[in-house]
């Protein structure tokens, strides 16, 4: 009899804990929605109650203050980002693949309206108000930078990322790219991130990848194959492998085979498949 009573008590406790977790998640989601739609100043316990169907007292009981609520929202958003990355074991990937996968996942998630927008609105508010929350964001961003640096170092050890690249500077540059795009999306929510994501990945692949690297001594290419040139059938634009096209993100020595298949003529937009090799 006692055993049955204990089981019933445990079941009730678990149910209460589950209900508490569920209500807390609901409050956090309501807060994210309010921030994304109306801004940080609009976050009040009354607003959460109206948005999520909870009582004002419940929000106050859970978080104590608006500051406590915002800190909980930031923590929840960080956990969400980690969970998204955890679905793919990025750390198990080769270094260059890990960098590119992280950037790809980040920008795809940023395209999803709501959570990403709320995160950077909170960050902007913390910076503008000289809030103590700046340190929370700084710590999280430092962790990401260290992870990116580790992936770059791994890629260099594997021979897939150019050895002369400063891993710490590369990590900061990637983080700044993502941060800048996130802020730009706040300014222009209609911005289409898909082509920007594809261009960012192609640029990182070409600038980091060792395939287009010239030899460390003497500046000779890593392959002995002669350079070739390719001409656009539509406008006559000429791509010379030896010279590359730095203005288009193609470093000198970038082989035609290493240019992404979705690349198009920078002059007229003709696809790569409509170029012909020409004799130099």
Residue 260's pLDDT is: 87
Which residues of the chain fall short of a pLDDT of 70?
1-17, 20, 36, 52, 55-56, 59, 66, 80, 84-86, 112-116, 127-130, 211-225, 279-280
Residue 231 bridge partners (DSSP) = 238, 276
Residue 169's pLDDT is: 94
Residue 84's pLDDT is: 66
Please, are residues 155 and 147 in contact by the beta-carbon 8 Å criterion?
Answer: no
Beta strand 275-278 pairing with 229-232: antiparallel
Residue 216's pLDDT is: 42
Distance, first Cα to last Cα, the chain: 93
Residue 146's pLDDT is: 92
The tokens for 189 are 């929510």
Please, are residues 104 and 201 in contact by the beta-carbon 8 Å criterion?
Answer: yes
Which 3-state string (H, E, C) describes the chain?
CHHHHHHHHHHHHHHHHHHHHHHHHHHHHHHHHHHHHHCHHHCCHHHHHHHHCCCHHHHHHHHCCHHHHHHHHHHHHHHHHHHHHHCCCHHHCCHHHHHHHHHHHHHHHHCCCCHHHHHHHHHHHHHHCCCCCHHHHHHHHHHHHHHHHHHHHHHHHHCCECCCCCHHHHHHHHHHHHHHHHHHHHHCCCCCHHHHHHHHHHHHHHHHEHHHCECCCCCCECCCCCCCEEEECCCCCEEECCCCEHHHCECCCCCHHHCCCCCECCCCCCEHHHEEEECC
**The model's pTM:** 0.59
In angstroms, the Cα distances linking 44 to 1, 69, 116, 124 are: 48, 9, 20, 18
């Amino acid at each position: 009899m006692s055993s049955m009573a204990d089981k019933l008590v445990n079941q009730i406790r678990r149910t209460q804990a589950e209900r508490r977790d569920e209500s807390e998640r609901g409050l956090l989601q309501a807060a994210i929605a309010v921030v994304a739609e109306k801004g940080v100043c609009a976050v009040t316990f009354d607003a959460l109650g109206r948005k999520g169907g909870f009582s004002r007292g419940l929000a106050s009981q859970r978080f104590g203050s608006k500051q406590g609520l915002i800190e909980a929202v930031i923590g929840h958003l960080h956990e969400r980002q980690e969970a998204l990355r955890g679905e793919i074991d990025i750390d198990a990937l080769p270094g260059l693949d890990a960098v590119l996968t992280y950037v790809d996942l980040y920008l795809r998630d940023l395209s999803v309206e709501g959570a990403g927008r709320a995160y950077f609105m909170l960050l902007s508010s913390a910076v503008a108000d000289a809030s103590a929350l700046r340190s929370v964001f700084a710590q999280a961003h430092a962790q990401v930078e260290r992870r990116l640096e580790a992936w770059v170092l791994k890629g260099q050890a594997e021979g897939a990322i150019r050895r002369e690249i400063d891993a710490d500077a590369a990590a900061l540059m990637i983080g700044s790219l993502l941060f800048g795009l996130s802020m730009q999306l706040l300014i222009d929510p209609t911005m289409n991130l898909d082509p920007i994501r594809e261009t960012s990945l192609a640029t990182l692949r070409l600038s980091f990848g060792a395939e287009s690297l010239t030899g460390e001594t003497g500046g000779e290419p890593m392959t002995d194959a002669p350079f070739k040139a390719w001409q656009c059938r539509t406008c006559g634009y000429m791509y010379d492998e030896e010279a590359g096209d730095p203005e288009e993100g193609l470093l000198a020595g970038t082989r035609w085979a290493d240019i992404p298949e979705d690349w198009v003529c920078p002059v007229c937009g003709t696809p790569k498949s409509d170029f012909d090799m020409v004799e130099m």
